[in-house]
Copies of this chain bind each other. A is one copy, B any other.
């Protein structure tokens, strides 16, 4: 059985370890976190990798307002402000957000929040809620789902059956809601019921909250809530995802065995792990529970089919991945086949000063040391001005990042570096290679982080170890 399909994993970095885990366990859901989103070159490379590895549900936490992680999506005032506007405004925002997410490479989003705001709501809800009136929340929630779907991403309504009455933040503790079921049904559940009546390609995320009038288990682990209320009483036969299982509300109160078996037996489909490094333990636990008959095999099979159905719905889109590929394609290596591996590198990096008005590449240079450090041990970083060229440095391996060579003095400075130990990265005008004949040259045709990153990745493949 393809058990990886039952996992949705959060990734706060993209590196060789991530590639190995994805290739080994094949989690169907990929949740991309700010550690990747804030380094655009990693996001591009991740998207390129995913598009070549197969089909995935690719999501972010971007809700707009209180929780915004994608710089590409214009900031929104948040659901609470939208709730005071026509639902068409919510539709408009969700559609543009969905369109941009789809362009970037996502096919899913962990939004909208359908929780009701109340006097007692934890501050973790606040402006994530469309308001306290269940009908208004339902109307906006439905329009949000419509917008996201038209934009190109599948929404995930949350946190079922409603986090609004919880006084605490489930990231920190397990909140308990004591409202009677009838009240929950007419109020908190109403937005979920109305949205699920109208939209079919929606997914549902469960709350790590205990509803004492229904069950002693938190919603995420409760068969009464997931199967009896959501599947039977409401009639939802779509994809149910847990909230992140590492959140204290669940992880402090239940073992991994309990979490996995209770959630899947309760009728949940995908286990969300905030940290992909927890996947091996959860995966092996699931294998063992299946062998021991502690997780129902038919439910697991049904969940796999369910995930496959949503994978078929989901748009296949490498998003910004093509920018990693096209950067790599523009890189050329001249003057060397292989290079001796050395453990430490000295970097000569142009300063960001004196750029033309029509030149925004200064920030690119500032990122070079961080990017190189993903592949090499960086011994020393020396910034130099383009006009003067770099100062003389020594070292086992020197990377001279060449922006432009505006005069003889700068050229002399570049050429004074030890030829055997220096690799010249010609970042801008490739005609500059004429100055470095017979030396080791990498032509990137770009100052951008993604180009430097891909050139270093290919460069590393040429190093002896």
Contacts and interface: CB of A to CB of B under 8 A. Distances in A.
B360 A67 contact: yes
Interface string A123-138: 1101110001000000
* Copies of this protein, total: 2
Interface stretch (A16-24, A326-334, A391-399): A326-334
A342 interface: no
A425 interface: no
Interface in A54-78: 61, 65-69, 71-78
Interface stretch (A181-189, A306-314, A445-453, A457-465): A445-453
A119 interface: yes
A40 interface: yes
A162 B402 CA distance: 25
A8 interface: no
A189 B430 CA distance: 22
A65 B124 contact: no
Contacts of A446: 65, 77-78, 80-81, 127
Contact of A428 (B74, B127, B329): B127
Given A93-B323, A100-B103, A326-B85, A77 B123 contact: no
A10 to B, nearest CB: 11
Contacts of A428: 80, 123, 126-127
Interface of A: 40, 44, 61, 65-69, 71-78, 80-85, 89, 92-93, 96, 99-100, 103-104, 117-119, 121, 123-124, 126-128, 132, 169, 171, 320, 322-323, 326-327, 329-330, 356-361, 403-404, 406, 428-431, 434, 444-451
